[in-house]
Structure 1
Amino acid sequence: MTAHPTTPPTVPSHRFDALTAAHMRAGGSWKWSTPGSWRRGEREGLIGAFVAEMDYPVADVVADAVRTSADGSRFGYLPDDWVADMAAATSAFWGERLGWAPDPARVRPVPDVLTAFTATVRHFTRPGSAIVLPTPAYMPFLTVPAMLGRELVQVPMARDGGDGSGRFVLDLDAIDRAFADGAGLLVLTNPHNPTGRVFDVDELAAVTEVVERHGGRVFSDEIHAPLTFDAHRHRPYAATSGAAAAHTVTATSASKAWNTPGLKCGQVILSNDADAAHWEATGYLAEHGTATPGVLATTSAYRDARGWLHDVLAYLDGNRALLASADLPGLDVTVPEGTYLAWLDGRGLGLDEPPSAFFVREAGVVMTDGAACGEAGRGGMRLNLAMSRPVLTEALERIGAALS
């Protein structure tokens, strides 16, 4: 088990603690509308812990922005000044929080990171070139390349403990071989989904060296950038060097940190002249589906909801501590350095079925099956920690009871 780095203080009662499982089921989200029933003793009902969204109510200013959109009938096509306002808010937040304020003129709207990924593959890579993906990985990155007619090269992540333990790290030698065999694009997700790693500057510099050696490109998915803990701090990949800036398309969104995925607004950040010019010529279709209320809400999130984010991070840190202290015999638990997603390795349980299926049946807890994250994830599970602490406590108790 990867332990929490410090012993956490007792966490006082928080308003999020009142969010019961019954309340979340009544809300109708995909995460909590999983069909099926479950009961053991006095415990009843499935606990949704798979979709990467938070159960927490959005910041008041974000909700107000959506209400203002409705009250003012702001449902038309996006005007340039609202896009510019969002780009300026994005740049200011990234500069203050992450140490890199990209040129607002090079921050462009897209509905989501997957739209940015699709556009990057189509417009910024060699036709027919393969895509390199460290695994386990965010599930759509495994399926979308084939939809675009591209081969996918899965590169299992390594562990830095030498004996199969320790932190997840990128296998740079395998990435190098994939580029040498003709691949054109590396998908870099940082902070990493689903392992929760926050890659440090030395690791990112090593990635740049490999990519530059082969004239490759990087799609940098940084959607979880604000969600880091302890001494771990996200460093935008394109900001690490001129070489990285020249070969990278960065994608992000306020949707993870401020819990707004349904508002359909992300950002593409272009970090060199050539890419900015090429996007201007080719990016119209990718931008076109961005939702106007999402742009206005995103601007409010980046600009005015930092206090809400700080509060959520503190609450999530308490949930990390709860996971680290849980009695889960036989599971190798990775507590995330960033994101609210934990990785549970159940290969040591010796089950004759995927562990995720076992825990749905025996614990009523629905997690992402690791096999959906690539071959390297088989036998593992992705657990979403972004629920109320009482509900997370029950989920972990159910998992522990199933194990014992």
Structure 2
Amino acid sequence: MAEIRDLTDDEARRALLKWGAAEPDVLPAWVAEMDYALAPPVHDALRQAVEDQVTGYPPFPTEGYGGTAGRALQEAYAGFAERQFGHLVAPEHVLPVVDVTAGVRFVLDVLSGPGAVVFPLPGYPPQHDIAQVTGRERADLVLDPDAERAEIDLGRLDALLAAGAETLLLTQPHNPWGRVFTRAELEGIRDVVVRHGARVVSDEIHAPLVLDGHEHVSYLSIEGTADHAVAVTAASKAFNTPGLRCAQIVTGDEATMRRLLAAPMARNDSWSPLGVIAATAAFRDGDAWLTALRARLSAQRDLLARLLAEHLPAARMRPLEATYLAWLDLRAYHDDPAGVALQHARVWVQDGRLFQPDLPGHVRLNIATSPERLTEIVRRMAAALA
């Protein structure tokens, strides 16, 4: 049976960003990197690729993309999507891109109209400016922080599209809400989008990280979405390989794929050959390790709930249905809990205002670490906040 191996402190501190940017006495629980060793199939594939000196250019996508390596990636993802999500994907409808945010930008440039991009808030910080970068306005769809359940407000979405917005940037599973949208919810979104002739770009990078009791439904698997939507995904979050730079755009029909393939090379290049190899190995051979990872993360989620109840009982954690990123409401303790945690507890969590600038008292906490580290993180935060 596959096992998840916790990195030692020395191993973890080799990370360039999560641990590398932290002072030696700081416990980092901020950026979305895991403190776990690579999945053995990914590790073995990368080691063999380096030994074989596979560091040249990756195949560039054209009609009938990619030669042996390109086809292997397409087929590996199609098989993974069917096994994991019950989503039937044509391999030829899978297109590499350097990362998910670059893929979203590429799709907006090539497929979307000039109208505003609807962006649910709080939302993933690097995508806050993606509409403006592509010459569009951002239309915010804001979640009530006191709502019982984090949901897309269909009435507000309808109003924004009626006012001229043309694209919904949907993150599902959602970061930082931790929500898995149901089929019925996605059908409701589809109905509003179709009514206005709009487009959906569905960021599904966290799809493999749906925790026990829930299931991921790709937006593209919903009937009547193929002609107005794409999904953008990657192995990087689930298999901890963000530095390898390879994501995938998934389309539902040939016409959409042809438009993407016809785009100039400068709009979509620079993904890594090692990223292709790692993603192929993860999608093809990583199921057992991924199952073990989800079990570990489910246990970490449950541990966090117990720790909060004991040490920070006034904290509110939205139900964590997917991802390893807990969204915590700490307004009962402080308007700037992230600042207090770093200054007084030497714990680095992500300030909620990065996800929604006008939202005080929230943090995003990365639980993908050892139980001992997670316990110490909460203990230190409680001492500083309570």
Q: TM-score range by the shorter chain?
A: over 0.9
1:264 and 2:249 aligned: no
Q: Distance in 1 between matches of 2:291 and 2:160?
A: 40
Name the amino acid aligned to 1:298: A
Q: How does 1:4-403 map to 2 (within 5 A)?
A: 19-25=7-13, 27-36=14-23, 45-79=25-59, 80-127=67-114, 129-158=115-144, 164-242=146-224, 244-282=225-263, 284-326=265-307, 327-351=311-335, 354-375=336-357, 377-403=359-385
Q: What displacement does 1:283 show?
A: 6.2
Runs of 5+ unmatched residues, structure 2: 60-66
Conserved? CA contact 1:17–1:389, under 8 Å: no
Q: Distance in 2 between matches of 1:375 and 1:193?
A: 16
| Count, aligned residues | 375
Q: What displacement does 1:165 show?
A: 4.3
Q: Distance in 1 between matches of 2:76 and 2:106?
A: 23
Inter-CA distance 110–401: structure 2 relative to 1 (3 Å threshold): same
Conserved? CA contact 1:329–1:400, under 8 Å: no
Name the amino acid aligned to 1:50: W
Q: What displacement does 1:15 show?
A: 7.1
Q: Deviations over 1:84-119 (max 9, x none)?
A: 110000000001110112110010111110111111
Q: Deviations over 1:209-232 (max 9, x none)?
A: 111111110010000101111221
Runs (4+) off by over 6 Å: none
Matched residue SS, 1:250: strand
Q: Deviations over 1:233-292 (max 9, x none)?
A: 0000011112x2221011000001111111111100011232112112116334421100
Q: Distance in 1 between matches of 2:5 and 2:264?
A: 43
Q: Deviations over 1:66-89 (max 9, x none)?
A: 112111121112232201110000
Name the amino acid aligned to 1:365: V
Query: RMSD over aligned Cα, in angstroms?
Result: 1.8
Q: Distance in 2 between matches of 1:184 and 1:250?
A: 17
Conserved? CA contact 1:371–1:377, under 8 Å: yes
Name the amino acid aligned to 1:357: G
Q: Distance in 1 between matches of 2:5 and 2:45?
A: 26
Name the amino acid aligned to 1:82: A
Conserved? CA contact 2:117–2:168, under 8 Å: yes
Q: Distance in 2 between matches of 1:148 and 1:97?
A: 33
Deviates more, 1:62-71 or 1:216-225: 62-71
Q: Deviations over 1:30-66 (max 9, x none)?
A: 01123446xxxxxxx1111111121111111211111
Q: What displacement does 1:172 show?
A: 1.3
Conserved? CA contact 1:123–1:282, under 8 Å: yes
Inter-CA distance 350–381: structure 2 relative to 1 (3 Å threshold): closer
Conserved? CA contact 2:4–2:292, under 8 Å: no
Inter-CA distance 376–105: structure 2 relative to 1 (3 Å threshold): farther
Deviates more, 1:28-37 or 1:391-400: 28-37
Inter-CA distance 18–175: structure 2 relative to 1 (3 Å threshold): closer
Q: Distance in 1 between matches of 2:134 and 2:297?
A: 36
Matched residue SS, 1:114: helix
